[in-house]
């Protein structure tokens, strides 16, 4: 008996180990597939469950770039952000940036989504966060930059055939104002200083703008702090733990699913018992012309008294067939 029990326990232990290994393998395969197809991963095992999103290479917008370019497609990033915001199990988002810039509208679209998320977000600039990577870096709730990373601030540029009309310059000016206002609202740099860095002419060889390393970006107020991966993850955990606990929605009664109830409106019609309980109200609601009400009123009234007729004429009372004469002139007497 003891040998059988020992063999059964050993068999159960082996099954549990096998199931644990299979779960680990499945989780590892899912993470690999997620990294391969979307460039992101949702690691587990830490204090909190976070999602890691990478924005690398060039941000691809409305036009497909050549296959040899490393790109981040905004039509892949936007659905991920929506899913992260709606998934209650994901408590934080870590954005890792190493981008040379790209499409202005696509980059601003991603940055606006990140800045409007309720989920705690932290960004980390590694290598470079140039051009439209600047709004993407400051869109998070807290931003980090590595000491060796750089950020290039320059005005909006467009290559290709352009129409040399004043409207083109006005369009560029409006687009640049959108970028400047977004960056200054989500960071500590003043708009005047940001425009000075953007219009600097002695920094770049073939362009205007300024290249900021990690320390300079923090000093200018563009990025919140210097740091690496460990500091970014710890800050994200801190923001998650500072969040108020998520309130669980109470179970609503079935009647609440049918929409708001109007004033004085009842869901169900009164049954026969309710009608019997209020006989007086039902009688009051009846119209006064019903036959039952008429009969009851006639039975309660006293019998009518005979009405005296007016006195009849003597000729009529004696049965004289002669008609009544109209009073006129008296007749003349004969002879």
Residues identified as active-site: 131, 154
- CA pair distance 45, 28, nearest whole angstrom: 13
- CA pair distance 173, 18, nearest whole angstrom: 63
Tokens, residue 18: 């096998």
Closest CA to 129 of 213, 51, 240, 46: 213
- CA pair distance 303, 89, nearest whole angstrom: 88
Residue with tokens 């320059």: 154
Contacts 24+ apart (CB under 8 A), 74-82: 74/103, 74/106, 74/107, 74/109, 74/110, 76/38, 76/39, 77/53, 77/110, 78/109, 78/110, 78/113, 80/38, 80/40, 80/51, 80/53, 81/53, 81/110, 81/113, 81/114, 81/117, 82/113
> Coil, helix or strand for 316?
helix
- Helix axis angle for 166-185 and 191-198, nearest 10°, is 130
């Amino acid at each position: 008996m003891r040998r059988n029990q020992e063999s059964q326990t050993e068999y159960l232990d082996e099954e549990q180990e096998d199931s644990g290994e299979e779960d680990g393998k499945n989780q590892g395969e899912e993470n690999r597939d997620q990294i391969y197809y979307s460039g992101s991963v949702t690691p587990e095992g830490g204090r909190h469950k976070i999602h890691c999103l990478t924005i690398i290479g060039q941000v691809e917008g409305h036009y497909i770039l050549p296959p040899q370019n490393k790109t981040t497609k905004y039509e892949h990033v936007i659905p991920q952000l929506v899913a992260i915001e709606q998934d209650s199990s994901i408590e934080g988002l870590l954005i890792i940036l190493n981008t040379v810039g790209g499409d202005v509208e696509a980059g601003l679209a991603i940055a606006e989504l990140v800045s409007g998320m309720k989920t705690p977000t932290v960004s980390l600039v590694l290598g470079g966060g140039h051009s439209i990577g600047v709004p993407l870096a400051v869109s998070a709730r807290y931003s980090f930059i590595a000491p060796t990373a750089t950020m290039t601030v320059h005005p909006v540029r467009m290559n290709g055939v352009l129409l040399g009309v004043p409207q083109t310059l006005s369009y560029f000016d409006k687009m640049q104002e959108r970028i400047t206002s977004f960056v200054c609202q989500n960071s500590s740099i003043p708009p005047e200083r940001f425009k000075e860095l953007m219009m600097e002419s002695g920094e770049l060889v073939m362009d205007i703008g300024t290249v900021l390393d990690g320390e300079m970006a923090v000093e200018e107020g563009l990025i919140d702090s210097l740091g690496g991966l460990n500091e970014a993850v710890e800050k994200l955990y801190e923001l998650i733990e500072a969040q108020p606990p998520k309130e669980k929605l109470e179970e609503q009664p079935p009647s609440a699913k049918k929409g708001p109830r109007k004033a004085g409106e009842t869901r169900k019609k009164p049954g026969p018992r309710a009608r019997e309980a209020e006989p007086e109200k039902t009688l009051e609601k009846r119209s006064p012309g019903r036959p039952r009400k008429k009969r009851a009123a006639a039975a309660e009234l006293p019998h009518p008294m005979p009405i005296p007729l007016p006195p009849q004429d003597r000729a009529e009372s004696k049965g004289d067939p002669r008609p009544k004469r109209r009073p006129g002139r008296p007749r003349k007497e004969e002879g």
